[in-house]
């Protein structure tokens, strides 16, 4: 008997899926396209050759040396030379360059005279990622300029080269970017943003397909097909989507870890299972929202709002410990947060599965939660009201 109901509601779910081309578009085409978009956009890996300007008011051999060296750095690219500060500022405002290096008058003379001249670099922090790179480049440059003068001075008094090196830079720092040694922006950005994007699609599609039942007034028939069991009705409706979404999710993971060589330092099954759990957890999350607000408009809006904001409050860009604590707490409401933590532990850092046990458990928990509240959705399904 129960098998008959499962079969019937499953068939209904499949028919609905096939009859609207939009589902295919939103489940298969768009997630893959968006994945490709993000991957292709930042395929360069790191921000380099930031367009900058230089204002050389000194025009000495030293200042020329500085601008030559500056252009040789990987981080910046001198696009223009400006005659004065006002011109350079105008260029920044016009967006021609994102910052400039200012060498004031008589730098060489003051430097050799020991009167500590000041060079300044103006960095446009309105463009965040290039600004950090410029800072790195300009900072290196000013250190090099400093070093060159000190080196000359020390050599003239007869210090050996070795002693000069240790005097110029007494402390050498080794910064180890664990498991992403080249600080590849693609690895960082897309191992989080692509799954987050994907879960937005899952939320939207699930919310939409549930809402349609209420809108069309067919929800009673939907329940009847499943023998008046809300659980079976949901399973029949959502499992065909789960299958498609999981397949697409795994395909996206294959692109990330095999085509683009994202760090994968764990057993691949850990990530594959996490992706499956992410799909189911997001579907359940959308169902849960409908259990709270069984209304097409508000249910979908809630999913949309949370899905969109989860890009921010899950702590991909501003880390969670820097946010307001209630925002951090809000982040733990969404399944993607747990996937992110699993990804960091497993794929990126490759630590023992033991440390991620709670995150997997949380994803499973999301799946169980709507079962406890589905009576509310069932009540609404028996008396559907559509508010346009």
Kindly identify the residues of this chain, within the stretch 347-386, that bind other proteins according to CB under 8 A.
348-349, 351-352, 355
Q: 124 to each of 142, 183, 367, how far by Cα in Å?
A: 18, 22, 46
As a whole number of angstroms, the distance between CA 337 and CA 323 comes to 14
As a whole number of angstroms, the distance between CA 145 and CA 42 comes to 33
Q: Are 240 and 13 in contact (CB under 8 A)?
A: yes
b/e burial code for range 6-29 (CB count within 10 A of at least 16 → b): bebbbebbbebbeeeeebeebbbe
In terms of residues, how long is the chain? 388
Total residues interacting with other proteins, rule: CB under 8 A: 128
**Two tokens at 141?**
């440059």
Query: Does 327 engage in binding with other proteins (CB under 8 A)?
Result: yes
As a whole number of angstroms, the distance between CA 63 and CA 106 comes to 10
As measured in angstroms, the least distance from the Cβ of 42 to other proteins is 5
**Two tokens at 110?**
């003051």
**Two tokens at 13?**
């779910």
Please, which of residues 261-300 interact with other proteins by CB under 8 A?
296-297, 300
Q: Of the two residues 188 and 367, which places its CB atom closer to other proteins in the complex?
A: 188
Q: Single out the residue of 1, 61, 171, 368 in contact with other proteins (rule: CB under 8 A).
A: 171
Stretch of 156-164, 246-254, 362-370, 373-381 contacting other proteins, by CB under 8 A: 156-164
Please, which of residues 41-80 interact with other proteins by CB under 8 A?
41-42, 44, 47-48, 50-51
Please, which of residues 190-249 interact with other proteins by CB under 8 A?
193, 197, 200-201, 204-205, 207-208, 211-213, 215-216, 218, 221
Q: Of the two residues 132 and 371, which places its CB atom closer to other proteins in the complex?
A: 132
Please, which of residues 3-32 interact with other proteins by CB under 8 A?
12-13, 15-16, 19-20, 22, 26, 30
């Amino acid at each position: 008997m129960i098998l008959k109901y499962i079969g019937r509601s499953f068939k209904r779910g499949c028919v609905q899926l096939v009859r609207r081309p939009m589902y295919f578009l939103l489940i298969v085409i768009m997630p893959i396209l968006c994945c490709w978009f993000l991957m292709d956009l930042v395929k360069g890996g790191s921000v380099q050759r930031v367009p900058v300007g230089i204002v050389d008011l000194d025009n000495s051999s030293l200042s020329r040396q500085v601008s030559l060296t500056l252009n040789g750095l990987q981080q910046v690219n001198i696009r223009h030379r400006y005659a004065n500060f006002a011109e350079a500022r105008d260029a920044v405002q016009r967006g021609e360059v994102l910052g400039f290096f200012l060498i004031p008058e008589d730098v060489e003379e003051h430097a050799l005279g020991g009167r500590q001249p000041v060079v300044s670099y103006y960095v446009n922090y309105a463009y965040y990622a290039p600004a950090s790179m410029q800072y790195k480049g300009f900072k290196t440059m000013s250190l090099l300029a400093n070093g060159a003068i000190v080196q000359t001075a020390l050599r003239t008094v007869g210090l050996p080269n070795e002693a000069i090196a240790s005097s110029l830079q007494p402390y050498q720092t080794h910064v180890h970017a664990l498991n992403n040694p080249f600080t590849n922006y693609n690895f960082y950005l897309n191992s989080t943003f692509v799954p987050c994007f994907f879960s937005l699609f899952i939320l939207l599609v699930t919310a939409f397909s549930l809402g349609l039942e209420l809108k069309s007034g067919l929800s009673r028939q939907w329940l009847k097909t499943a023998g008046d069991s809300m659980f079976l009705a949901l399973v029949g409706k959502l499992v065909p989507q789960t299958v498609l979404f999981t397949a697409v999710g795994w395909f996206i993971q294959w692109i990330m870890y095999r085509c683009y060589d994202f760090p994968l330092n764990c057993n691949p099954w850990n990530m594959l299972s996490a992706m499956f759990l992410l799909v189911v957890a997001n579907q359940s999350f959308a169902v849960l929202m409908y259990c709270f607000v069984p209304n097409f408009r508000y249910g979908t809006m809630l999913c949309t709002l949370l899905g969109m904001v989860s890009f921010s409050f899950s702590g991909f860009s501003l880390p969670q410990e820097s946010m307001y604590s209630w925002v951090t707490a809000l982040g733990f409401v969404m399944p993607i947060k747990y996937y992110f933590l699993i990804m960091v532990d497993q794929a990126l850092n490759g630590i023992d599965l033991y440390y991620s046990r709670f995150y997997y458990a949380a994803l499973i928990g999301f799946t169980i939660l709507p079962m406890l509240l589905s009576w509310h959705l069932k009540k609404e399904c028996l008396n559907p009201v559509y508010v346009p």
